[in-house]
Amino acid sequence: MQNLLSINNLRVGFSLGGKSIEAVKGVNLKIGHNEAMVLAGESGSGKSITSFAITKILPANARIIAGEVYFGGEDLLKLDEKALADVRGSSIAYIFQEPSSFLNPVYTIGSQISEVIMLHQRKSREEAGLAALELLQQVKINDTQRVSESYPHQLSGGMNQRAFIAMSLACKPKLLIADEPTTSLDVTIEAEILQLLMQLKRQLGFSLLFITHNLSIAKRIADRVSIMYQGKIVEEGSCAEIFSSPKHFHTRELIQAYEKIGKL
């Protein structure tokens, strides 16, 4: 079966102090339909930059040096900005580590979800408002009307993350990219968010690219795991393969780190 996403020889560089520093060094990554892929590695290994390069949402001082990103048979890196903007948020959606940093503080949760729906689905404001309430219910928020009328600062971190997931799913994406979405949450809320994501994945049938430094998360949700180290993918395999017979020393380091604190 054809892969949903194929990244081929992706290279991304940064301009710093007049010098060019390569942060992603020839990454190859494939994600199948309805697959949960975990991209794991230490901070600074290039995980997030790889995911941002998929739809070219890179910092101003970063540029794609080479590579291909095929999604649905089309190289996203060759699309113009208008065509790529149509892909972002509709076919490919993101969840970020700090939802409060990406939610607009001056608009209510419901209005922000509605805006996404109106932008991509051409629904009226009234139709979008009703759809926003349904999405909040879908992410297991009980008091949907209150949350819809609330501003981000009036909600907890876990509730904001649920609302952000609802916004990300508003246009029924084929690929959901979750960039360390549970790092700032306590362990109880983290477990709830992970369980929610996997339930939604089963119900809605999207593929998931989950980025983390935490291999205990990979063990809970991954079909396959790719290990990234110093800008390269150094190991890849099924979840069972990675944990039963890790080959690269950095994979073993990540596993040992969480075994020591009793989380594997």
Nearest by Cα to 84 from 102, 65, 48, 58: 58
Residue type, 22: E
- Domains in the chain, number: 2
Whether 214 and 129 have beta carbons less than 8 Å apart is answered as no
Token pair in block for residue 10: 């992706």
Give the mean pLDDT of the chain.
Answer: 93
Domain extent for 78: 1-91+175-264
The confidence score (pLDDT) of residue 6 equals: 97
Q: Is 202 exposed, middle or buried (0-12, 13-18, 19+ CB in 10 A)?
A: exposed
The phi-psi region of residue 154 (left if phi > 0; otherwise alpha if psi is between -120 and 50; otherwise beta) is: alpha
Inside any domain, residue 98: no
The CATH number that applies at residue 12 is 3.40.50.300
Residue type, 36: A
Same domain (yes/no): 81, 10: yes
Per-residue pLDDT of the chain (264 residues; tens, 9 = 90+): 579 999 999 999 999 888 889 999 999 999 999 999 999 999 999 999 999 999 999 999 999 999 999 998 899 999 999 999 889 878 999 998 888 888 999 999 999 999 999 988 888 999 999 999 999 999 999 999 999 999 999 999 999 999 999 999 998 999 999 999 998 888 899 999 999 999 999 999 999 999 999 998 999 999 999 999 999 999 999 999 999 999 999 999 999 887 776 565
Same domain (yes/no): 2, 85: yes
pLDDT tens string 98-133:
888 889 999 999 999 999 999 888 889 999 999 999
Same domain (yes/no): 168, 187: no
Same domain (yes/no): 28, 81: yes
The confidence score (pLDDT) of residue 1 equals: 54
Q: How far apart are CA 221 and CA 49, in angstroms?
A: 22
Inside any domain, residue 53: yes
Same domain (yes/no): 72, 144: no
Q: CB under 8 Å to 45, separation ≥6 — which residues?
A: 228, 229, 230, 231
Inside any domain, residue 123: yes
Token pair in block for residue 227: 């290990």
